[in-house]
Amino acid sequence: MKKIKVHIADDHQLLIDGVKAVLSSEDNIETVGFSLNGEDVITWFESNQADVLILDISMPIVDGIAVLQNFKKRKLNQKVIILSSYDDTKLIQEVLKIGASGFLAKKCAAENIVDAINVVYNGKQYFSESIQSKLLATFSSDYSNTGEYSEYSSFFSSLTPREVDVLQLIAQQFNTREIGEKLHISINTVETHRKKLISKLNVKNVAGLAVYAAKNNLV
């Protein structure tokens, strides 16, 4: 079985050791390196490779933002999960624009890091639940105010206007036929949107969609 190679970058050795300990019990994940400052991250990736980089924003010498900018300038298509004590929406949006694949609050790292690595490695974006709530609230607010979706996160901009319409109606407990009638689309089209929403929002079923929409103020 091919192992996912992970590099961990944080200015606290204790956190690095904690993440390494969590990952050591995973058969499909291997820690291949670590860095205590951003300059070392850049240097390491000049001659080494990892499938996923776990990157702190607040790093000495060179911070995490500068690391991402360096990767972008070099056109290094590196999957990066930001691990940070800060969860400001503008910060999240900024790192997503530069090329991050996910964002985790440090307080959630132990319980979510394995899922995050697997999801990002397979080409999707990952956000812990609290981060999703912040982004979707901003995303929904932008749409309400301007009629356009936020440009910052491909995770949320990947929801089409029609998918958001369907999600809102699902949360209001309309059935497939009623949704089709309200949106003037076929039952098959409603089902297609429903399946895409379940996949994009990483929930298990329609009930999960309804809960997700309610939690994030879409209804």
Tokens of 199: 């996949």
Q: What's the pLDDT at 109? A: 82
Q: What's the pLDDT at 150? A: 46
Domain ranges of the chain: 4-126, 132-215
Tokens of 108: 């959630």
Whole-angstrom distance, CA of residue 37 vs CA of residue 59: 5
Architecture in CATH of 132-215? 3-Layer(aba) Sandwich (3.40)
Residue 120 backbone phi and psi in degrees, to 5: -65, -40
Tokens of 97: 């624009």
Contact by Cβ (8 Å): 216, 137:
yes
10-residue mean pLDDT series, the chain (219 residues): 93 94 94 96 96 95 95 93 83 84 85 90 80 63 49 54 83 87 92 88 75 63
Q: What's the pLDDT at 158? A: 63
Q: What's the pLDDT at 136? A: 60
Residue 79 backbone phi and psi in degrees, to 5: -75, 125
Q: What's the pLDDT at 140? A: 53
Q: Which CATH superfamily hosts domain 4-126?
A: Response regulator (3.40.50.2300)
> Can 4-126 and 132-215 be said to share one CATH topology?
yes
